């Protein structure tokens, strides 16, 4: 950590006793105060619904506080738009930054800057080279955004902020979809820029990242500051306790090897392959068993789940659920056979964000909740939704709330709830806890265990091998489209899985 970050310099951003009360009566922030010092990385963490997003929106000018003050460089400010904050020197980089995929890197970085129309290409390229040197990162200025990896897009968003002379950059879950290598590159650039004087507010669910990268941290819970301290004086366990109390600690104590007896084969995959993606792959999942797929990004793990589910029409091989062979490759046929998929991209593939929770939950089996399979019975749909809200601890104002207004963890629980009250026998889970806080992660782990105890079969893809070790019976290691090893959880550990998956 930079020595300067611990110095006595005056804060560049001060939030003092900020409250936010919405018209619905929700008290999202309750007297939040924090100070961000120049040339530092300030971590902001908390469970979904703790108030992080609300605070970020207030600091960046998207929303205004009900009461309290925000001061920028020693002066109170009352920004009402992000452009005002940006003009003052504060830029926000969100997880899904709205870059223009058809334009080049160069055009995106300088897009919207008032003086950009007066610049020729050579001059723009020269400034971009200087920005890249500051970050210690190299990129082709003429490559289109659509050709970049997720990590590349994230770096372009930061370059875009620097091109607008941002003094403070708000990073909201920047590594949620990055590979380990991309994350290392991002961290290196953040540290380099911090040491040059750029200030960061870093929002993340990954506690290891917070401990490794930040100089100061603030923990929010239920709209209040629980911890505000130098990172060097806080342990991971103290962070977990501050975020969710002793709840996750109890779950982690249960994360020893599961003691479950398994039944008959529920899912049998034989010689499944997809040209240029993976295969041939064969595997079996038994009733009451949780099987993990451990692999790095690009290993073919997600593509395998999608092919089992029938979303890849080019895949060849056989898939059986119980005694039923899937002869037609389509998600509809997979659902009829008893397969359920919880996709990685829940916003795009798993939910209709503008629809209410009750309509999302009843959608897969709507015909069975309809009179004569034609006229939906809303009463039955609401009954199932209320049951799901109670059983899964979904935090929502009501079943009528649009799913797009829920936190990430609660939206993920809605995706699970879609499948829990129908005939699904095998659950295919792709990064089920990605982008959710530690409390929601604990709930999801418990839900997976509950499915196994009920005799379901579960297949999990996760980038967090610790998560697989905590909930699975067996782990299959996937590399370059092949299963290269199978390990019972009791006979492996994190170091072996990492070595196998990375080809060491």
Model confidence over 379-398: pLDDT tens digits? 677 777 777 777 777 777 66
pLDDT bin (cut points 50, 70, 90) of residue 480 is: confident
Residue 133: its pLDDT value, please? 87
97 and 178 both lie in a single domain:
yes
Instruction: Give the residues across from 65 on adjacent strands.
Output: none
Q: Is residue 349 assigned to a domain?
A: no
Find the helix or strand (DSSP H, E) in which 163 lies: helix 150-163
- What is the spatial distance between Cα 372 and Cα 369, in angstroms, rounded to a whole number? 9
pLDDT bin (cut points 50, 70, 90) of residue 249 is: very low
85 and 164 both lie in a single domain:
yes
Say whether pLDDT at 247 is over 50. no
59 and 204 both lie in a single domain:
yes
Mean pLDDT, residues 233-237 taken together: 84
The string of pLDDT tens digits covering residues 16-46 is 999 999 876 778 899 999 999 999 999 998 8
Residue 1: its pLDDT value, please? 47
96 and 167 both lie in a single domain:
yes
Q: Is residue 98 assigned to a domain?
A: yes
182 and 274 both lie in a single domain:
no
Say whether pLDDT at 122 is over 90. no
Q: Of 50-59, 143-152, 245-254, 468-477, which range is least confident?
A: 245-254
Q: Is residue 84 assigned to a domain?
A: yes
- Tell which wins on pLDDT, 269 or 348: 269
- Tell which wins on pLDDT, 483 or 345: 483
- Tell which wins on pLDDT, 204 or 284: 284
- Tell which wins on pLDDT, 373 or 141: 141
| Strands of 450-496, DSSP E | 457-461, 474-479, 482-488
- What is the spatial distance between Cα 115 and Cα 94, in angstroms, rounded to a whole number? 24
pLDDT bin (cut points 50, 70, 90) of residue 256 is: very low
Residue 404: its pLDDT value, please? 66
Q: Of 20-24, 186-190, 483-487, which range is least confident?
A: 20-24
CATH of residue 180's domain is 3.40.50.300
Residue 147: its pLDDT value, please? 85
- What is the spatial distance between Cα 333 and Cα 322, in angstroms, rounded to a whole number? 14
- Tell which wins on pLDDT, 25 or 115: 25
Q: Of 48-52, 183-187, 401-405, 412-416, which range is least confident?
A: 401-405
Residue 354: its pLDDT value, please? 62
Note down the domain range covering 34.
3-244
Examine the fold and report which residue of 244, 275, 303 is the final residue of a domain before the chain moves on.
Answer: 244
Give the number of other Cβ atoms within 10 Å of residue 87's Cβ: 14
pLDDT bin (cut points 50, 70, 90) of residue 176 is: low
Q: Is residue 386 assigned to a domain?
A: no
Residue 5: its pLDDT value, please? 43
Residue 391: its pLDDT value, please? 72
Residue 304: its pLDDT value, please? 93
Q: Is residue 352 assigned to a domain?
A: no
Say whether pLDDT at 367 is over 60. no
Examine the fold and report which residue of 214, 244, 274 is the final residue of a domain before the chain moves on.
Answer: 244
Total domains, the chain: 2
Cis amide bond preceding 415, omega within 30:
no
Residue 376: its pLDDT value, please? 58
Checking DSSP bridges between strand 199-203 and strand 41-46, what pairing results, if any?
Answer: parallel
Mean pLDDT, residues 285-298 taken together: 89
Q: Is residue 254 assigned to a domain?
A: no
Mean pLDDT score of the chain, rounded to an integer?
81
164 and 50 both lie in a single domain:
yes
| Strands of 37-172, DSSP E | 41-46, 67-72, 75-77, 90-93, 168-172
58 and 92 both lie in a single domain:
yes
* Chain position carrying tokens 């003050």: 69
- What is the spatial distance between Cα 132 and Cα 224, in angstroms, rounded to a whole number? 38
Q: Is residue 372 assigned to a domain?
A: no
238 and 292 both lie in a single domain:
no
- What is the spatial distance between Cα 377 and Cα 385, in angstroms, rounded to a whole number? 13
Say whether pLDDT at 2 is over 60. no
300 and 153 both lie in a single domain:
no
Determine what percent of the chain is predicted with pLDDT higher than 70. 80
Checking DSSP bridges between strand 278-286 and strand 265-274, what pairing results, if any?
Answer: antiparallel
Examine the fold and report which residue of 198, 215, 244 is the final residue of a domain before the chain moves on.
Answer: 244
Say whether pLDDT at 310 is over 70. yes
Say whether pLDDT at 318 is over 60. yes
Please provide residue 14's backbone torsions phi and psi, each rounded to the nearest 5 degrees. -130, 125
pLDDT bin (cut points 50, 70, 90) of residue 313 is: confident
312 and 195 both lie in a single domain:
no
199 and 61 both lie in a single domain:
yes
Q: Is residue 448 assigned to a domain?
A: no
55 and 94 both lie in a single domain:
yes
């Amino acid at each position: 950590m930079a020595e300067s970050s611990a110095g006595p310099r005056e804060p560049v951003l001060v939030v003092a006793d900020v409250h936010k009360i919405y018209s619905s009566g929700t008290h999202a922030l309750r007297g939040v105060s924090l100070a961000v010092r120049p040339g530092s990385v300030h971590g902001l963490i908390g469970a979904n619904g703790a108030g992080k997003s609300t605070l970020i929106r207030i600091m960046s000018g998207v929303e205004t506080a009900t009461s309290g003050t925000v001061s920028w460089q020693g002066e109170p400010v009352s920004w009402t738009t992000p452009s005002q904050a940006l003009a003052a020197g504060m830029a926000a980089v969100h997880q899904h930054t709205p870059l223009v995929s058809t334009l080049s890197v160069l055009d995106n970085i300088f897009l919207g800057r008032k003086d950009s129309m007066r610049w020729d290409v050579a001059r723009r390229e020269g400034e971009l080279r200087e920005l890249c040197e500051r970050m210690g990162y190299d990129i082709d200025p003429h490559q289109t955004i659509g050709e970049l990896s997720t990590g590349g897009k994230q770096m372009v968003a930061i370059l875009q902020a620097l091109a607008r002379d941002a003094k403070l950059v708000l990073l909201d879950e920047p590594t949620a979809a990055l590979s380990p290598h991309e994350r290392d590159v991002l961290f290196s650039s953040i540290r380099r820029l911090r040491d040059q004087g750029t200030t960061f507010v870093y929002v993340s669910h990954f506690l290891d990242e917070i401990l490794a990268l930040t100089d100061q941290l603030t923990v929010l819970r239920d709209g209040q500051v629980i911890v505000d301290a130098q990172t060097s004086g806080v342990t991971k366990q103290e962070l977990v306790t501050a975020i969710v109390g002793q709840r996750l600690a109890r779950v982690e104590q249960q994360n020893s090897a599961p003691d479950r007896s398994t039944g008959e084969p529920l899912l049998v995959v034989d010689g499944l392959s997809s040209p240029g993606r993976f295969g041939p792959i064969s595997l079996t999942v038994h009733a009451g068993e949780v099987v993990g797929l451990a692999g790095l990004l690009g290993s073919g793990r997600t593509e395998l789940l999608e092919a089992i589910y029938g979303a890849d029409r080019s895949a060849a091989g056989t898939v059986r659920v119980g005694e039923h062979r899937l002869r037609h490759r389509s998600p509809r046929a997979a659902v009829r056979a008893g397969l359920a998929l919880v996709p990685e991209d829940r916003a795009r593939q798993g939910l209709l964000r503008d629809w209410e929770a009750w309509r999302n939950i009843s959608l897969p089996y709507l015909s069975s909740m309809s009179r004569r399979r034609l006229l939906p019975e809303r009463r039955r749909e609401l009954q199932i939704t209320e049951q799901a809200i109670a059983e899964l601890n979904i935090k929502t104002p009501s079943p009528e709330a649009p799913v797009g207004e829920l936190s990430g963890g609660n939206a993920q629980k809605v995706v699970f709830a879609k499948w829990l009250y129908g005939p699904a026998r095998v659950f295919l889970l792709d990064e089920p806890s990605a982008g959710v806080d530690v409390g929601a992660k604990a709930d999801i782990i418990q839900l997976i265990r509950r499915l196994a105890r009920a005799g379901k079969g579960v297949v999990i893809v996760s980038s967090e091998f610790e998560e697989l070790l905590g909930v699975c019976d067996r782990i299959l290691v996937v590399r370059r489209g092949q299963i290269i090893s199978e390990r019972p959880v009791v006979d492996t550990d994190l170091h072996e899985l990492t070595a196998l998956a990375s080809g060491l």
